Amino acid sequence: MQALATISAAEPKSRRWTRDEYYKMGDEGLFRDQRVQLIEGEIVVMSPQKVSHYAAIDKCRQLLEKLLGDDFWIRTQGPLTLNPNSEPEPDVSVVTGTRDDYQDHPKTALLIVEVSQTALGFDRNEKASLYAKAGIADYWIVNLIDRQLEVFRNPNPDENHPYGFGYSEKKF
């Protein structure tokens, strides 16, 4: 029997998607009845929201609007275009200006707040690293499990985090 030619085995690789491809898939109905976000080229399916989750989002928005007034746009679950491969939809984001100042989704935020109940590990790790990589100075997690606010500040390069960035200051 003749020996088979050597076949180089390659490990399977994940396909990374761009923002444009993500929108085309959405236009074709691929995400119908699903909550999804584009995170560093991966399409992440999110859990359905419980009432306590959405109520906390709304309370946070209301409080920030009272504190910050009309000089900022307090957005709930609105996309942020952080780079061509990431368009997360944070639960609450604070951006400069008003909605009329934007022709597309904002590219950054002064503050991002995630309300976390079922995805606490994801929010502490992948989302924190993603936001740090984007230079978001203040990232908060409203931790519904432990009933506490977690504050992340001072983004910096750190190879120990999923996307090569993390926060040097964390208060729980």
Check which CATH number belongs to the domain holding 135 and give it.
3.90.1570.10
Q: Which domain holds residue 68?
A: 50-171
- Judge whether 98 lies within some domain: yes
Residue 38 lies in a domain: no
22 inside domain? no
Q: How far is CA 68 from CA 59, 94, 100, 108, 153, in A?
A: 14, 9, 18, 17, 19
169 vs 27: CA distance, rounded Å: 40
Predicted local confidence at residue 12, as pLDDT: 83
Does residue 19 form part of some domain?
A: no
Confidence at residue 48, expressed as pLDDT on a 0 to 100 scale: 87
Q: Which portions of the chain are predicted below pLDDT 50?
A: 1
24 in any annotated domain: no
- Planar angle of CA 55, 122, 33, nearest 5 degrees: 60
pLDDT at residue number 9: 64
Residue 60 covered by a domain: yes
Domain count, the chain: 1
Alpha carbon distance 109, 100 (integer Å): 16
Residue 103 is assigned to a structural domain of this protein: yes
What confidence score (pLDDT) does residue 7 get?
57
- Asked, for residue 40, whether it belongs to a domain, the answer is no
**pLDDT at position 13, please?**
80
